[in-house]
Chain A
Amino acid sequence: MQVNETFTPTIVAFCCNWCSYAGADLSGTNRLQYPANVKIIRIPCSCRLNPMFILRAFQRGADGVILCGCHPGDCHYTTGNYYARRRMTLLFSLLDFMGIERERTRVEWVSAAEGAKFAATMNDFTQTITRLGPNRRLEDLRCKVE
């Protein structure tokens, strides 16, 4: 596997409005460090995440995509994250089946109180993606800046 010292990955984090988005805020107010190249997109619930969003993120230059939602049982809308869990499990399995690195996608449950977990998750995910190198298998060459 190619290890590139100068490679800074672009990470897209889809965060549920009711938990991990607030968790990201909390990690900020607590001055916890997480990489600046994590781009957070707020969604109303983890089950709002259309699989197309994930693929589009890769197309537009993401090297890793992570979904953060409420812990099972804690969904603001009662059951949204249970559906999201099934969908993402299947989607990620298919991506893996098509040879797209399994580690490039991740689901993590982060509550509004878990600022530290949010920062740690992002640090860890960024490290993983840095190790993996740039996204080549789901890129769109047209979107590369020449």
Chain B
Amino acid sequence: MKTWKLSTLDALFAAIAGKQTLYIPADVAGQPVFARWEPGLAMTRALNTGRSAKDLFFPQVEDLARFRVAGKTVSVSPAQALQEPFVIFGVRACDCRSFDILDSVFLAEPADTFYQARREQATVVTLACSQPEETCFCTSLGIDPQAPGGDVSCWMAEDTLYLQANTEKGEALLASLPRLEDGEKPDADSSVFDKLPLKDLDFSAFSGKALMDWFNSPVWERLSQSCLGCGSCTFVCPTCQCYDVRDFDTGHGVQRYRCWDSCMYSDFTMMAHGTNRPTQKERFRQRFMHKLVYHPNNHGGQIGCVGCGRCLQKCPISMNIVKVANALKEGKA
């Protein structure tokens, strides 16, 4: 295990950024977000970013290809996948787990090469939590916020940053940094995690029962009735991966891009003859069935949620996966 003085954290960032692009969680226009580090940019004091770390692997908007159309002919020039290595510092354990969930979708055959390239170029440096928010429930999904994983795990204690490489990529990053000293981190106090109000959520029930029982639960009607049908929960969610592919006519060609989409939107499944999820109830059910039942069914029981608590904080009407999971298990809303 290596150490670095927290008082000179800026110098550590400068050393990393001297070799490759570095992203850290910082306040930009008052909002904590993963931002490209430049001299003077300080880490946010917020526990986590408002938007999740998925932005760096699956950006909200991304060009896929450009087309030229002339008369009856069409030509394609594909966009280039990212080829520059980068480091993302300060990822919390929940967001780090979300990469596994995104991987299981995007890296499944046939792999998404844009996503894959970013994953291969990235070195993920995680940061252990010591002061969780009340909305945190990663522990009930089997995540240890004090052992966050990634290529390098970091802990902050007193005036020291402790770094532990977990992978070859992590070793290489640490080896490239000057003045790292050896040290052992002190045992962290984990008592606050025992006080978390949502720590005892149990998601195991969802893989134990038939899909149709959950689907036909009477609670959906009531749970979805106040849903506004906005996309806040899906866009701040670190595991939501649905996207749309759209064309933009620039006037001198056509740009095909993909952008985040939300299953909460009325046009998500709209076809020429109509939609198969006509009301908010079906759309709402799709989102939570996907997280709690469909995704685990298709990916070895892996729940599509990491307990980051963003949807608890951001939903305009305070409806969220915790309320849904509890209501489903109780069978009443």
Contacts of B252 in A (CB 8 A): 143, 145
Q: Min CB distance, B73 to chain A, in Å? A: 20
Does A61 have its Cβ within 8 Å of any Cβ on chain B?
yes
Q: Within B223-261, which residues are at the interface with A (CB < 8 Å)?
A: 248, 250-252, 255
Closest B residue to A61 by beta carbon equals B251
Total residues of chain B contacting the partner, CB 8 A? 5
Q: When chains A and B are docked, how far (Å) is the Cα of A143 from the Cα of B255?
A: 10
Contacts of B255 in A (CB 8 A): 142
Contacts of A142 in B (CB 8 A): 248, 250, 255
Q: When chains A and B are docked, how far (Å) is the Cα of A143 from the Cα of B250?
A: 5
Q: Min CB distance, A54 to chain B, in Å? A: 17
Q: When chains A and B are docked, how far (Å) is the Cα of A60 from the Cα of B249?
A: 10
Query: Which secondary structure dominates chain A's binding surface?
Result: loop
Query: Which secondary structure dominates chain B's binding surface?
Result: loop
Q: When chains A and B are docked, how far (Å) is the Cα of A143 from the Cα of B252?
A: 7
Q: Within A90-104, which residues are at the interface with B (CB < 8 Å)?
A: none
Contacts of A61 in B (CB 8 A): 251
Q: When chains A and B are docked, how far (Å) is the Cα of A145 from the Cα of B252?
A: 7
- A-facing mask of B250-282, CB < 8 A → 1, else 0? 111001000000000000000000000000000
Contacts of B248 in A (CB 8 A): 142
Q: Within A38-77, which residues are at the interface with B (CB < 8 Å)?
A: 60-61
Q: Min CB distance, A59 to chain B, in Å? A: 9
Q: When chains A and B are docked, how far (Å) is the Cα of A61 from the Cα of B250?
A: 10
Closest A residue to B257 by beta carbon equals A142
Q: When chains A and B are docked, how far (Å) is the Cα of A60 from the Cα of B252?
A: 11
Closest A residue to B248 by beta carbon equals A142
**Which of B248, B250, B252, B255 is packed against the most chain A CB atoms within 10 Å?**
B250
Q: Min CB distance, B331 to chain A, in Å? A: 48
Contacts of B250 in A (CB 8 A): 142-143
Q: Min CB distance, A134 to chain B, in Å? A: 16
- B-facing mask of A108-142, CB < 8 A → 1, else 0? 00000000000000000000000000000000001
Q: When chains A and B are docked, how far (Å) is the Cα of A60 from the Cα of B251?
A: 8
Q: Min CB distance, A57 to chain B, in Å? A: 12
Closest B residue to A146 by beta carbon equals B252
Q: Min CB distance, A138 to chain B, in Å? A: 16
Q: Min CB distance, A56 to chain B, in Å? A: 11
Q: When chains A and B are docked, how far (Å) is the Cα of A142 from the Cα of B252?
A: 10
Contacts of A145 in B (CB 8 A): 251-252
Q: When chains A and B are docked, how far (Å) is the Cα of A61 from the Cα of B252?
A: 12
Q: Min CB distance, B258 to chain A, in Å? A: 14
Closest A residue to B63 by beta carbon equals A142
Q: Within B150-205, which residues are at the interface with A (CB < 8 Å)?
A: none
Closest A residue to B252 by beta carbon equals A145
Q: Min CB distance, B259 to chain A, in Å? A: 13
Contacts of A143 in B (CB 8 A): 250-252
Contacts of B251 in A (CB 8 A): 60-61, 143, 145
Closest A residue to B251 by beta carbon equals A143
Contacts of A60 in B (CB 8 A): 251
Q: Min CB distance, A140 to chain B, in Å? A: 8
Q: When chains A and B are docked, how far (Å) is the Cα of A82 from the Cα of B301?
A: 64
Q: Min CB distance, A64 to chain B, in Å? A: 18
Q: When chains A and B are docked, how far (Å) is the Cα of A55 from the Cα of B109?
A: 42
Q: When chains A and B are docked, how far (Å) is the Cα of A58 from the Cα of B280?
A: 36
Q: When chains A and B are docked, how far (Å) is the Cα of A61 from the Cα of B248?
A: 15
Q: Min CB distance, B65 to chain A, in Å? A: 14
Q: Min CB distance, A61 to chain B, in Å? A: 7
Q: When chains A and B are docked, how far (Å) is the Cα of A94 from the Cα of B255?
A: 30
Q: When chains A and B are docked, how far (Å) is the Cα of A60 from the Cα of B248?
A: 12
Q: Min CB distance, B291 to chain A, in Å? A: 34
- B-facing mask of A27-40, CB < 8 A → 1, else 0? 00000000000000
Q: When chains A and B are docked, how far (Å) is the Cα of A61 from the Cα of B251?
A: 10
Q: Min CB distance, B29 to chain A, in Å? A: 15
Given contacts A142-B248, A143-B251, A145-B252, 7 further A-B contacts (CB under 8 A): A60-B251, A61-B251, A142-B250, A142-B255, A143-B250, A143-B252, A145-B251
Identify the 3 closest CB pairs spanning chains A and B, nearest first.
A142-B250, A143-B250, A145-B252
Q: List 10 A-B contacts (CB under 8 A).
A: A60-B251, A61-B251, A142-B248, A142-B250, A142-B255, A143-B250, A143-B251, A143-B252, A145-B251, A145-B252
